[in-house]
Structure 1
């Protein structure tokens, strides 16, 4: 039964990864489509290629998967069961599909984290009160803080880059500059797509890792039980080397499917974006993602690029940003974790009735 559940979890996690790809495709291609540098199809092909290329950077250059490790350890291992992980995944898929249908650019990473924690809390409540923290706050609190910090960092960096570029290019022929920035957008969107792949594919890896470790611990596998908990994820990566590869591949394939409703919101509804501003926003978003990946903090690529787009918008004037749209997005961000946790808790109790 445990092995069957593990297989179901892995399949669902990769489906979530695929959904994450088309749900978040807009993040890296919205500005490049809005400025007509590439057609929507060319843009998703470009982004998907670099989503997958991020695997080779994480595996062979960085040499570790810090974000995956953070997700896997966001819940105390005493409260992780295969049923908990399954309930969390189902909740995350439901919320992701719902927000995609409504065209709301919510965070795939936060819905995954919310689902995982919500199911674990339901499981802990179903067991008993034993004084042990269900949530690993050392891992989770930085993630909560970066719901607000990531877009602010992106906004600040984008503002600085835009001002810097405008000062450097103030004497350049506008038509000539526009042509150059359209070409540079290919580079900046590629950089952001690398960050998106490296950040988001690892979140699914982390969930699969938690499930695999739980399974091996349940069957008493000495290779896992003999290890300290801090080393089990690294052993999982070595032992199940195909999981990172497939996780990055799935998000790339998902990006190929696109997400046109969200492209429209991100590319035009927040603020009108020029090629220069597209370069600034995507570069700022990429820098933010690389910084947080280095820190091992899972952040939302959606939040990051939204903050970056706002940053370039306010270089013109505060009113250039459509704050009504932005406030609606903020509500979606705030609600994602608690709503996902609630759905996961309900799913956990439903699953326990049948498993």
Structure 2
């Protein structure tokens, strides 16, 4: 088996945190329990996905605040917060607060663009300013400035018994270096590099060349290289890859059958670009850890990174996630050269 050019240094996982509308607490508790398990297994990071007006985590910063008090070591990330739903100044306050509570373990990932189904939700979200809102990279720049301690106002000092700061409080000095951008195009990768962010890649890229060929790994590799070429840190700039990976080493026959069926249903979207945005999806990787490791070692973009945050499938049961995470930590990670960070 060929070795990766970059040894796998950090391994994390990503969960969407689904819940039953009739019992939302149980779903949130399940997410927290999975993060706690991840720390016990030695994972370097746990990431939560963001969902609005759906039955998934709508407030990842709040969930990670709770996780910060139930863990000691594991890094906690968002992949990703869509900034179209957020006020950058208020979000900066929340991120800094949770980073301090976690002891400097927060890794906020963000993305840009109008909120999903904006025409249907804008009346509730921005009733007076929908047409004036900036949903482009300027929104990220505002957030970065606030997180990195740039002034938010020209007023500071004492007014009566109140003391005011000209920058967001609290300020967490290291957080600005742990800001991630979720990008799937060459333009977004370059922009993230130029602004000194870290890059989150996922199982989705834009197939921007209308003539093809449509090789997911090669497209993602071009994004990683464009990002590092634009970043002040060059080849040392941090990139994390987030493919859907389902090891089956300790799975029951029933689980293996369900996992395979899940991946098979999603395979057609991996053969050609989808929709007006020309999104190309990576195939889900299902099999033994040895089989998955072999496929990853052959993946051009994986060979270029030393951090991963493997995405857990959306619709599985709690027990399935326990099995998958355990196999990742005890079988797949070691097969990729990773060593668990455990006491």
Q: TM-score, normalised by structure 1?
A: 0.22
Question: Structure 1 or 2: larger strand share?
Answer: 2
Query: What's the TM-score once normalised by structure 2's chain length?
Result: 0.23
Structure with the higher helix share, 1 or 2 = 1
